[in-house]
Structure 1
Amino acid sequence: MSLKSAVGRARGLGSAKEGAGHFWAQRVSAIFLIPLSLWFAVSVMGLSHADYATFKGWMGKPGNATLMVMTVITVLYHAHLGLQIVIEDYVHCEAKKLVSLIAMKFAAVFLAVFMTVSILKVAIGA
């Protein structure tokens, strides 16, 4: 039992003034994903029966490679924001929370770099 008043116990537990920025980043990335997802779905349907040479020629166009990299990075950023909220809200052990957040950030960065290099390798033909 604490001798602090209700206001004293609540002080410092309020808003960290970061939630609104995170909220808007998630919404803006979701809005960016709408046209990118539509482009990706149409592209996949158009290339469904293509061989590797056709796909490589398609990916070699700068617009397609750029949109593919933008799609990958936006998806991973949006997923990172969503998973961060889930971990912060539902993992109560501080050590597990910290390890989970670090592992999730590492995985997102690793996947972003790996996928971007893979896309550029196919697009450039190196």
Structure 2
Amino acid sequence: MADKPFHVETMRSQLGQVRGLGSSKSGVEHWWVERLTGIALIPLTIWFVVSVLLLLGAPQIGVVHWAGRPVNTVLLLALVLLTFHHMQLGLQVVIDDYVHDKRAHLAISLVNKGAALLLALFAIVAILKMAFWPVAA
């Protein structure tokens, strides 16, 4: 009798057994946000790479003037915010897929969000410092 696996017969249909076990649409929103941030990052990254290539060899004051232009400041801030949000979303998928212990999952998820926020804040402060740098004309 010990050789037989324990089995419980249920009277519910297959649909009834799986109902309530789905993503409840939270995964769909996460998927869309990840895709939209990725799409938005394409032109921003191209703009940033071209800008950096054009600034090669420029003096520091020239880079500060460039970063201080309102359009460039806004685009740099958008690039930073979208990059770190996209990174956090992508890492969250990996955490959700591979970390099964609830306490470890919570801890790692908090570290992921906190690190993304902290790194983004460092970059934002650097951009704003350049944008409002008191530069002599």
When normalised by structure 1's length, the TM-score is 0.91
Corresponding residue to 1:83 among 88, 91, 107 = 91
TM-aligned CA deviation for residue 13 of structure 1: 2.0
How many residue pairs get aligned? The number is: 126
- Deviations 1:23-66, CA, capped at 9 Å, x for gaps: 11011111100110110010110112112111111111111111
TM-aligned CA deviation for residue 3 of structure 1: 3.0
Structure 1: gaps of 5 or more residues: none
Q: Secondary structure at the match of 2:114?
A: helix
1:125 and 1:14 mapped to 2: Cα distance?
51
More helix by share: 1
Structure 2: gaps of 5 or more residues: 1-5
Distance 1:112 1:2, change over 3 A: farther
Corresponding residue to 2:28 among 20, 32, 37 = 20
Q: Secondary structure at the match of 1:55?
A: helix
Confirm whether residue 112 of structure 1 aligns to residue 120 of structure 2.
Answer: yes
Q: Which residue number in structure 2 is paired with residue 38 of structure 1?
A: 46
2:91 and 2:21 mapped to 1: Cα distance?
23
What RMSD over aligned residues (CA atoms) do the two structures have, in Å? 1.7
2:34 and 2:99 mapped to 1: Cα distance?
20
Corresponding residue to 1:3 among 5, 8, 16 = 8
When normalised by structure 2's length, the TM-score is 0.84
Q: Which has the larger radius of gyration?
A: 2
Aligned residues: percent identity?
41
